[in-house]
Structure formats: C-alpha cells, structure tokens
Structure 1
Amino acid sequence: MHPETALLVTLAGAFGVAFVFGLVAAKLRMPPLVGYLLAGIALGPSSPGFVVDVALAGQLAEIGVILLMFGVGLHFSPGDLMRVRHIALPGALLQMPVAFGLGAWLALSWGWAPGGAVVFGLSLSVASTVVVLRVLEDRGLLDSVDGRVAVGWLVVEDLAVVIALVLLPAVLEAVGSTTSGAAGSGGLVKVVVVTILKVAAFILLMGAVGRRAVPWLLTHVVRTGSRELFTLAVLAVSLGVAVGASALFGVSFALGAFVAGVVISESDLSYRAGADALPMQDAFAVIFFVSAGMLIDLQVLQQQPLKVAATVGVIIVGNAVVSTVLMVLLRHPLGASLRLGASLGQIGEFSFILAALGVSLGVLTEEGRSLILAGALCTIVLNPALFWVVGRIDGWLSSKPALLDRLERQKAPRLITTDLWAVTPSRHAILVGYGRVGRTIGEAFQRAGLPFIAIDQDRRVVDAMRMLGVNAVYGDATRPGILDHTHPETAQLLVIASPDPYHARHIIELVRAKNAHIDIIVRTHADTEQELFEQLGVEKALMGERELAFGMAYHSLRSAGCDDDRADDVIQQLRGGGRMHTREFTSMMLANEAPPRT
C-alpha cells in the first residue's frame, strides 16, 4: 500500500467490506453491527488476503468514538432518567458492580494482573446502547414504559463508563507507580482528587461559557441559511471541544465530546444538530466497529474456546440474568423484566473503548482485548436466541399463574383501583395503556359519555387519572387477576393502546377466555403484526403510520377542492380495499416490477 493513498484505501476497504457483511447480517436478521465486526476480522491481520492500515483505521475510529459520545450527550435527557429513576438508577448501579466483580474474578483466576482484571470486569459490565436501542425499536417497545426503563438503565451505564474513562488512567497510573502501601494510598488519593478537580473545572467552564457560546454560535450560523456551514459548525464543536478538553484539562476525548453534546442538547437547535451530525456519526461508527473487529485474534477463538465461553457466560449472567432479577426485586413485572434483561445481555461499543484504553495504558494484554471483542461478537450474535429462550420462559410462566404469583410476591401491590362502579358494570370499554394514544381515546370516551375502565403500569399515570375521575386499574394486564377487576365478561369493547405486540396477544387471549364475543381494537406497528391480529379475529388492527396517511390524504383532498362527502368516500375506499395492498406493492418493488396504473 502506497503511503500517499493509505487513507483512501483504508476508507474504501472498510466501507465496502462493512457494507457487504452488514447487508448479509441484516438479511440473516442479525444486527448489522455483527457484519461490521466480521468485516474487521476479514480486513485485519489475523486473516489472509487484503489488509488495511490498522494504525490509520484506529485513528479514524477515534473520530467515531468522539462522534458516538457526542451523540450520547446530545440525546441525554435528565428528565427521562428521573422518570424511571426508581428502577434504572438502583438497578444499573447494582448490576454493574456484580458483572464487574464476576469479570474481575474470572481474570484473576487466570492469573492476570489486578489492573487488567479491573479493565476486563468493567468491559463486561456495560451493554451496547446501539444494540439495545435497535432491539427495542424493532420490537415496538421504545416508547413504552419498558422502553423508558431500558433507556434510563443505559443512560446510567453510559454515565458510569464516562466517569470510569476519566478516573481509570489516573487510578491505574497511581497504583502502578507506588511502591509502598502508605505512599500508594496517599498518591492514589492525590491523583484522584487532581483528576476530579480538572474534570470539574472543565465542566464548570463548559457550563458557564460553552452553554451560552455554543448555542449563540449555532444560532448565528443558522441565520446564514447555509446547511453545510451548520453541519461544519456541529462537527467543529464536537471535535474541537473533545481535542481542547484533552489538551487543556487532560480529560479523555470521550468526556469532552459527551459534555459538548450535553451543552448543545439544551439548545432548541439540538434536533437539527443531531440530524446533521448523524450521517457522519454513523459513517465513522462503522469505521470504529470495523477497527475493533481488526483486533480480534482468531487464534484466541481456536486455541482458547473455554476462555471465550467463560467470557460469554459472565456477560449473559452478569448483565442479562442479574438485570432481570434486580428488576423483579425492584417491583417491575416479571415478563417485562425477562425481555429487558435479554436486551441487556451483550456488550458493545463502550466495552471496545475501555479495552482500547486498557491496552494503551499497558494493563490489558492483546489476549484480554481479543477475549472482550470475541465476547461482544458472540453475545450480539446470540441475542436473538436469548430472546427466543426468554419468550418460551415467559409463556411457560404465564400458564402457571400460581407459580407466577409466588415469583412476583415481592412486588408492591400490583393493583390500585379508583372508585369503580359499586355494581358490576356492563357494556363498557376496557382501555389498556394510557399513554399519548390511550389518553386521546380516553378523552374521546369521556366526551361521548361512554363508560370505560383504563389499565396502566405507571403509578403516576394512574394517580393522575384518579384526580380526573377516570376509573383506573394499576398493574400489568397480563398478570393474573388484574383484568378481572375490569369485568371483561360484561364488556363490549377492548382497546389495546400499548405498543407491545407480545403484550397485546396475551391480553387478547385472557379476555377472549372470559368473553369470546367482545370487540377488539389493537394498535400495531407493522403489516406483519396487523395480519397476525386479523388472524386472531381482531376487528380492527390499526397501524399508526397508515392512519396518519389517511388523515393527511383527507386534508389534502379538502385543500385541493374536494367537498367533505367526496373526501370521505375516497378515504373509505382506501380503507376498504379499493387500493393496492401494501404487501402486494412491496412484492412488486422487490421484483422490480412497476405497479399497475390506476
């Protein structure tokens, strides 16, 4: 490879091979991240054939780390964290030490030095934000209560990693440079105090100056009307603050970029900044994962499979199993705890950053980094299988109500009712989920004078409903006994406004067992879910995007001159089948066929 073309060849090779492997992974219903790591293995020195410049790829990956942490800071919301603090905060702060202890103990049992064991344990204790968010999004859980708990859990883990990235170099340097116990204790305290003071000075400076200067700068750039200047300003701020923080205060690039993102997040331009930085962030994040894959030593997988298996076991036990147990103990429903625990049962980008830091500090060997990377690759690949196992466990437990009730006995009272009708209600509606969609439906019921009982898992939502005079039940509608308090045997309508399709299927089965003729309306997110609910005999399975399209089409027709009756007729034709079915149109596109003209 010629030095003058090394950068171009590295970028072309990394993007091209990552695209191919990522596409194959997506076709196999695995996260594209798996493909990026495999692309790195294919391009790395441990495999034959074309090899890119590993050192140069590592420098490009550093840009990926900066942009990744900038994005984390940009989307960091203290409000979201506070809403789920009773579960996410204690849960993550207990889970991480347990996983860390298991990983460190495993490393020490292999004869590693204490510094390497610390880095190894930390790397195995934090789940991949990228993978978890994608899993929640694919399953329609991102906007649910469970999704908010998972996001809050990830935020706590990310903040803990940011703090570790700041303190770890100072702590390991102090421990490594001391020779006596007393001197070591004093030196360690001094180094930690100095580091904390530097970080505090940087954060105070960004809070006092950057909080005003950065939004002011972006506002003036927006007034120029130049999109490329705004994108350039966002990249300059993220990279400039990261490099400046490292040079002036000695903090990591990651912390500088994170704080820069938090500063911009308080501006009303944060959404545009995130949208403009996202393409660059995604591109360099791919380089980051490819460079991580280059460092995976295939000989570790071949020569030390037991160590790889032990690493994978620690990740699954320390993250998935411990998280599930803690969520149940913190009074979260067992089924939701199983699903969230499964989503946390892997490691990813922050583990790679910690491993790279450990190698750069000389406390983690290349073998240790290869084990961390191999563990990440294996757990991400195994994550769909883990969800399958969890689904089977949840289904089995649901068929054993007595056992399920004993397992959830440590929960707080799962049922809080308002002043429900003194007599058994009849011809009423049951509304499951009182979020943004459910509140609108409930208000419609109230305005029309139709009786209904609402169910929600959020205690604060139920308390708010009580203040408004809404008949409400607090609890998980899939748990034994909760639906009984809504009297499904005499209800005429069931409306499921929660976004979880698995949750909805279980509720339908429970209600149908008591009232086989009840009308059911369900919220869906995909055509496949809609078809599944139709097969279950659901009267209406409404997909949000399609209903939005109908509403926009109606108003477009009215604005174009159609009268109300004509616009209504057209929309009813679209709803009724006088339109090409989405699945049919999709199959034609995939077959490169033009749809028939209408």
Structure 2
Amino acid sequence: MPHDVDLIILLAAGFGIALFFGYIAARLRLPPLIGYLIAGIIISPNTPGLEADMALANQLAELGVMFLMFGVGMHFSLNDLLQVKRIALPGAILQITVATILGLSVSMFWGWSFGSSLVFGLCLSCASTVVLLKALGDRGLLDSVNGKIAVGWLLVEDLVMVLVLVLLPATAVLLGGQQLAGHDSNENIWLTLGLTLLKVAGFIAFMLIIGKRLVPMIMQFVARLGSRELFTLTVVAAAVSIAYGSYAIFGVSMALGAFFAGMVVKESDFSHRAEEETLPLREIFSILFFVSVGMLFDPRILIEQPLHILAVIAIIMIGKTLAAMALVLFFRYPLNTALTVGASLAQIGEFSFILATLGVSLGLLSLEGQNLILAGALFSITLNSFVFSAIEPVQNWIRERSHLARLLERSGDPLAMLPDEVDQDYLRDQVVIVGHGEVGRRITRTLMADGIKVVIAEENREIVEDLREKGNAAVSGRATEPSVLIQAHIQHARLLVISPMDILDIHKIVDTAKLLNPQIQVLICATSKEEAEIIREDEIGDVYYAKEEMAKNMSNHILNQIQIAHHHTPTH
C-alpha cells in the first residue's frame, strides 16, 4: 500500500466504523461518543486487524482538541456562571479537591510517584461538558435551576482544568517529569512558573484588549460581502490561527488559545451564525478526537488490571458523586438538585483525555495510567444515562424513609420561610409569582411599581437571597412542594402567576393552590402554542402565550393607528 494514502485510510476507516458504532450507541440511548471511542480501539495498533497511522491520528487529535476547546469557549457564558456562582464556585473547587485526593491516594497505594498520582487524580476529577449537555438536553433539564447549577459547576471545572493545562508543563520537572522539547530544564522552577503565568496573563490581556475588538470587526467586514464560505473560513481561521499564535508567540497551550478564540467569537454580533456555520466542522474534528483517543487505549488492561479499573470507576461514579451531593445539600439545596448534580459529575471525558495525553508527553503519567483513565471514561459515560434514570427512584426511596429525608432535606432553612419582617397584613390579597426568570421579573416590577403586594417563589437560592436583600418577599424552593406555596401564604392570595415551566409541574402547583385556596385566580405563561391549547382544554387557569400576545398587541396597535388616521382624515 503506498504511504501517501495513510490519511485517507485513517479517515475512511475511522469515520466508517465510528458511524456504525455511533449509530448502535444512539439506538441504545447512549452518547454516540462511546461508538467513536470503540471505533478508535478497533483501528488501533493494540488490536488485531486494520491498523491506522498513530502519528497522523495524534495530529488530528490535536486539531480535535482545538475545535473542542473552541466550542467550549463559544458556549462559555459568564452570565450562566454568575447566576449560580455561590454554589458552583466553591462546590466545583471542593469537589475537584476531593476527587483529586481520592485518585492520588489510591494510585500512591499502588506504588506510583507523587507526580503521576497527582495528574491521575486531576484526570478523574473533571466531568465531560459534552456528555452533560447531551444528558440534560435529552431530559429537557438545560433551562431548569438544577441544569443551570450543573452546567455552571462544569464551567468552573473547565476553567480549573484550563489553568492546570497551563501550569502543568511549568511544574513538570518539580513533579518528577521532564520538560517539553524546546524548554531549558536547568531553569529555576519558580522562574519558569512566574514566566508561564506572565505569558498567560500577557496572552489573556492581548485577547481581551485587541482580540475582543479585532476578531468581531473582521467577522463583520467579511459578513458584509454576503459570502457564506468566506464567513465560515473567517471563523475557522480565527480558531486555528489564534490557537497556533498563542503557542508560537506566548508559549501558551493551543487548547487555551482555542478556548479564548471561542470566547472572542462569542462576543461578536454574528456569534449565533458563527456557531451554526462551524458546527459541522467542529463535530467532525471532535469525532476524530474521540477516535484517536480510542486508538490510544489498550484493551489488555481490562484483563491485566480489573481491580484497578474498578477502583477508578468507583472514584468517578461513587466518590465524586457523593462528594458533590454532600456539598449541594450543605448549601441547602433540595435533594433533587443534589441528585442531578451528582449524576452530572458521575463521568469523565474530553478534559481528562487532554490532560492524560499532556501528562504522558511530560513523562508524568505512564501508559498504564492513561489506559486506566480511558477505561474509566468508557465505562462511566456508558453508565451515565442509567445514573440519570435512577434519580427519581432514589429520591422516592430516600423520601419514603422519612428520618433520612429529614436529615437530607433542608431542615430549618431560613430561605424556605418568609422572614419575620414580612407583615401579616402584607400576606392578604397578595399576588404569588412562581419563578423569577425574565417573565417573572417584568411582572413583579410592574406590579410593585403599582403598589401591588407580591410574594415570589423561586428555586434558585441566589435569586431569593438577592430579592430579600432588596427587601422583597421571596421564598426558596420548588413550588411543586406544598410547603413552598404554604410559606408564600397562597391560602390568602388573590392571584397565582406561573412562569413558563413543565406542564406536569404546572398541574401540581395549581392543584395544591386550589386545594388551599379554592377562590384563587390562576394566570399561566405557556412556552408553546401546543402547551397553551392543552392548558386551555384542562381549564386550570388563564393562559398567555408570548407570540399570541405579541400578535394581539400589534393588531390592536395597528387598528388604533388606522382609527386615528381615519379620524384625522379631512372629509370632502
């Protein structure tokens, strides 16, 4: 076989087999990336049969990492993170610490060096954003409070891992590894670390001051030409050239460069278009990344080290999950939130692979360690959907054992009750608003400006704390729980307003409200035309649907304008 078709063999075999196993994984309701990893294992030098070029696969994996990190940067939303910062920031950092210590302790017990054990522990501590977004999306949880906490938590993990990728090469020698090619190993470790941080700070400053203005400006300039392929090329060129430039000029990892390229593109007015146009390319390269990661895996470890693999899976799926759940409950969030966040973190993915590959290249992680991480990822991603399915049964099981539920659920939580300052007179004929999203905020503002009494029931504790600081009556918790509506004094309320949410939850809330206050009037914001029709058929309250209301308002405005014009038209 001529040597110059190695790339074609790799792509043809990789994509073909990845498609087959990805399809099987999807049919089994598992993330398709399991299929891509299996495809890589099949064409790897470690398994008999077809053998693809490993060096080429590594370069394609590097490209895959760049596009994956570019995608993470484009999805990185500071607003999402700020909404849940009080739980996501300390929670993620503590959970990373616990998981790293677990991985470190177990591997040092196996006789590994401290440096290897540290990298191994860090690899086990970070979950996959790709897997999480898919799991939450499939269950319609992305916009829920639990979903936002889980995504915010993973954004913090991603940021910590970006920092680890930057600092690891600088501290490799101190940890017992070796310098990357082109670095002087005789340099003082603190000098190296200082220089690395200085270069990173220089790169970040450059991206925030110049890149933030320059890239959107170029995108706008190209978008005016109206050429679709030139626009796509602009975004891809920005991703790859910033990633390479960060490495060549600032000595920063290409992964970090690509992450910031994504963040800068997100700042542009054309970010949605950029995301849509580059999605196929990003997905193709991320598939190549997972295939090449599979190629690194040696299946013999399953036979040679079964106990080690079980220990790794236990750390990922039990240790991390329990640590995260304990932290969420400590922050006095409900059991359901703790279980959702715990399930979200019961897997490892792309950052673990990137970090493991870097660890191997720095001589800090053995191939055995890398194989254990790959095995842990394969099993944990495969089992993750089952973990999500177990949330409800586990919650019911705990609640049936009331003494356990009382311990775990928020007992004596100050935010679950209205503060004493709220006057009892205030809690008569008030309007109870469930949910303080965009719709809830606008309604609250309008009512309060008119001097109408309002009590807000909201799941996100941080929003409730902010509302109380401003002197508003607010209570924390899921309004599907009768106790939350009781605390909002629904029995004396004049009106109940329900923000857009799941139709089953709306039914539960209305049933409880009408049981406690049969005279209460109910207003419901529907998320879709179909939902609005179902609620109207059920006759549980007055329904408002955004597009319908907009059309009504615009029609009324047009009719008014025509009448005014008609009124002012002089008659001959």
Q: Which band: TM-score by shorter chain? A: 0.7 to 0.9
State the match for 1:123 in structure 2. Answer: 123
Instruction: Check whether the contact 2:127–2:345 (CA below 8 A) recurs between aligned residues.
Output: yes
State the match for 2:425 in structure 1. Answer: 422
- With the length of structure 1 as denominator, give the TM-score of the two structures: 0.80
Q: CA deviation at 1:390?
A: 2.7
State the match for 2:160 in structure 1. Answer: 160
Judge which range, 343-352 or 104-113, deviates more.
Answer: 104-113
Instruction: Check whether the contact 1:308–1:374 (CA below 8 A) recurs between aligned residues.
Output: yes
* Distance (whole Å) between structure 2 residues aligned to residue 197 and residue 465 of structure 1: 40
Instruction: Check whether the contact 2:467–2:473 (CA below 8 A) recurs between aligned residues.
Output: yes
Alignment of 1:47-86 (within 5 A): 47-86=47-86
Instruction: Check whether the contact 1:456–1:473 (CA below 8 A) recurs between aligned residues.
Output: yes
* Distance (whole Å) between structure 1 residues aligned to residue 197 and residue 266 of structure 2: 24
Task: Kindly provide the amino acid, as one letter, of the partner of residue 364 in structure 1.
Answer: L
Task: Kindly provide the amino acid, as one letter, of the partner of residue 216 in structure 2.
Answer: P
2:51 is paired with a residue whose SS is coil
State the match for 1:233 in structure 2. Answer: 234
* Distance (whole Å) between structure 2 residues aligned to residue 552 and residue 378 of structure 1: 49
* Distance (whole Å) between structure 1 residues aligned to residue 96 and residue 186 of structure 2: 25
Q: In structure 2, do the counterparts of structure 1 residues 100 and 483 end up closer, same or farther at CA, with 3 Å as the change threshold? A: same
State the match for 2:565 in structure 1. Answer: none
* Distance (whole Å) between structure 1 residues aligned to residue 171 and residue 338 of structure 2: 35
1:482 is paired with a residue whose SS is helix
Q: CA deviation at 1:110?
A: 1.2
2:416 is paired with a residue whose SS is coil
Q: CA deviation at 1:453?
A: 5.0
Judge which range, 523-532 or 14-23, deviates more.
Answer: 523-532
State the match for 1:273 in structure 2. Answer: 274
Instruction: Check whether the contact 1:520–1:538 (CA below 8 A) recurs between aligned residues.
Output: no
Q: In structure 2, do the counterparts of structure 1 residues 49 and 444 end up closer, same or farther at CA, with 3 Å as the change threshold? A: farther
1:458 aligned residue (445, 457, 460) = 460
State the match for 2:29 in structure 1. Answer: 29
Q: In structure 2, do the counterparts of structure 1 residues 263 and 310 end up closer, same or farther at CA, with 3 Å as the change threshold? A: same
Judge which range, 407-416 or 131-140, deviates more.
Answer: 407-416
Alignment of 1:303-314 (within 5 A): 303-314=304-315
Task: Kindly provide the amino acid, as one letter, of the partner of residue 499 in structure 2.
Answer: A
State the match for 2:261 in structure 1. Answer: 260
Q: CA deviation at 1:249?
A: 2.4
Instruction: Check whether the contact 1:432–1:498 (CA below 8 A) recurs between aligned residues.
Output: no
1:124 is paired with a residue whose SS is helix
Structure 1 stretches lacking a partner, 5+ long: 179-183, 559-598
2:268 is paired with a residue whose SS is coil
* Distance (whole Å) between structure 2 residues aligned to residue 413 and residue 96 of structure 1: 28
Q: In structure 2, do the counterparts of structure 1 residues 162 and 447 end up closer, same or farther at CA, with 3 Å as the change threshold? A: closer
- With the length of structure 2 as denominator, give the TM-score of the two structures: 0.83
Task: Kindly provide the amino acid, as one letter, of the partner of residue 282 in structure 1.
Answer: E
1:236 is paired with a residue whose SS is helix
1:199 is paired with a residue whose SS is helix
Instruction: Check whether the contact 1:522–1:538 (CA below 8 A) recurs between aligned residues.
Output: no
1:44 is paired with a residue whose SS is coil
* Distance (whole Å) between structure 1 residues aligned to residue 507 and residue 186 of structure 2: 58
2:457 is paired with a residue whose SS is strand
Q: CA deviation at 1:435?
A: 1.3
State the match for 2:113 in structure 1. Answer: 113
Cα deviation 1:334-393 (Å, max 9, x = unaligned) = 221211111111110100101111111222222211110111111111112222333222
Alignment of 1:329-340 (within 5 A): 329-340=330-341
* Distance (whole Å) between structure 2 residues aligned to residue 557 and residue 272 of structure 1: 31
Q: In structure 2, do the counterparts of structure 1 residues 158 and 167 end up closer, same or farther at CA, with 3 Å as the change threshold? A: same
State the match for 2:40 in structure 1. Answer: 40
Instruction: Check whether the contact 2:83–2:462 (CA below 8 A) recurs between aligned residues.
Output: no
State the match for 1:569 in structure 2. Answer: none
* Distance (whole Å) between structure 1 residues aligned to residue 356 and residue 529 of structure 2: 42
Instruction: Check whether the contact 2:418–2:487 (CA below 8 A) recurs between aligned residues.
Output: no
State the match for 1:497 in structure 2. Answer: 499
* Distance (whole Å) between structure 2 residues aligned to residue 555 and residue 15 of structure 1: 52
Q: CA deviation at 1:523?
A: 7.4
Q: CA deviation at 1:107?
A: 1.1
Judge which range, 275-284 or 519-528, deviates more.
Answer: 519-528
* Distance (whole Å) between structure 1 residues aligned to residue 27 and residue 539 of structure 2: 31
Q: CA deviation at 1:102?
A: 0.5
Instruction: Check whether the contact 1:524–1:541 (CA below 8 A) recurs between aligned residues.
Output: no
State the match for 2:563 in structure 1. Answer: none
Alignment of 1:152-301 (within 5 A): 152-176=152-176, 187-301=188-302
* Distance (whole Å) between structure 2 residues aligned to residue 509 and residue 121 of structure 1: 48
Judge which range, 139-148 or 497-506, deviates more.
Answer: 497-506
Q: In structure 2, do the counterparts of structure 1 residues 489 and 173 end up closer, same or farther at CA, with 3 Å as the change threshold? A: same
Alignment: residue pair count = 551
Q: CA deviation at 1:53?
A: 2.5
Task: Kindly provide the amino acid, as one letter, of the partner of residue 422 in structure 1.
Answer: D
Q: In structure 2, do the counterparts of structure 1 residues 457 and 557 end up closer, same or farther at CA, with 3 Å as the change threshold? A: closer
Task: Kindly provide the amino acid, as one letter, of the partner of residue 169 in structure 1.
Answer: P
Instruction: Check whether the contact 2:34–2:381 (CA below 8 A) recurs between aligned residues.
Output: yes
Cα deviation 1:144-174 (Å, max 9, x = unaligned) = 3322222221111111111111111121134
2:173 is paired with a residue whose SS is helix
Instruction: Check whether the contact 1:432–1:496 (CA below 8 A) recurs between aligned residues.
Output: yes
Task: Kindly provide the amino acid, as one letter, of the partner of residue 425 in structure 2.
Answer: A
Matched, 1:13 2:16: no
Judge which range, 239-248 or 439-448, deviates more.
Answer: 439-448
Alignment of 1:565-576 (within 5 A): none
Instruction: Check whether the contact 2:242–2:261 (CA below 8 A) recurs between aligned residues.
Output: yes
Q: CA deviation at 1:516?
A: 9.2
* Distance (whole Å) between structure 2 residues aligned to residue 252 and residue 397 of structure 1: 46
* Distance (whole Å) between structure 2 residues aligned to residue 494 and residue 260 of structure 1: 46
Instruction: Check whether the contact 1:141–1:499 (CA below 8 A) recurs between aligned residues.
Output: no
Judge which range, 38-47 or 291-300, deviates more.
Answer: 38-47
Judge which range, 458-467 or 201-210, deviates more.
Answer: 458-467
* Distance (whole Å) between structure 1 residues aligned to residue 8 and residue 553 of structure 2: 50
Q: CA deviation at 1:273?
A: 2.4
* Distance (whole Å) between structure 1 residues aligned to residue 528 and residue 298 of structure 2: 40
Q: CA deviation at 1:275?
A: 2.5
Instruction: Check whether the contact 1:519–1:539 (CA below 8 A) recurs between aligned residues.
Output: no
Task: Kindly provide the amino acid, as one letter, of the partner of residue 33 in structure 2.
Answer: L
Q: CA deviation at 1:94?
A: 0.8
Matched, 1:147 2:147: yes
Instruction: Check whether the contact 2:339–2:391 (CA below 8 A) recurs between aligned residues.
Output: yes
Structure 2 stretches lacking a partner, 5+ long: 179-184, 557-572
Instruction: Check whether the contact 2:116–2:364 (CA below 8 A) recurs between aligned residues.
Output: yes
- After superposition, the CA RMSD in angstroms is 4.0
Cα deviation 1:76-119 (Å, max 9, x = unaligned) = 23333223211111111111011001011111111122222121
Instruction: Check whether the contact 1:128–1:349 (CA below 8 A) recurs between aligned residues.
Output: yes
Instruction: Check whether the contact 1:331–1:410 (CA below 8 A) recurs between aligned residues.
Output: no
State the match for 2:388 in structure 1. Answer: 387
Cα deviation 1:192-230 (Å, max 9, x = unaligned) = 112112222222333343233322222222222222112
Task: Kindly provide the amino acid, as one letter, of the partner of residue 256 in structure 1.
Answer: G
State the match for 1:341 in structure 2. Answer: 342
Q: CA deviation at 1:549?
A: 7.8
1:121 is paired with a residue whose SS is helix
Instruction: Check whether the contact 1:416–1:475 (CA below 8 A) recurs between aligned residues.
Output: no
* Identity among equivalent pairs (%): 44
Task: Kindly provide the amino acid, as one letter, of the partner of residue 486 in structure 2.
Answer: D
Judge which range, 404-413 or 437-446, deviates more.
Answer: 437-446
State the match for 1:434 in structure 2. Answer: 436
Q: CA deviation at 1:303?
A: 2.9
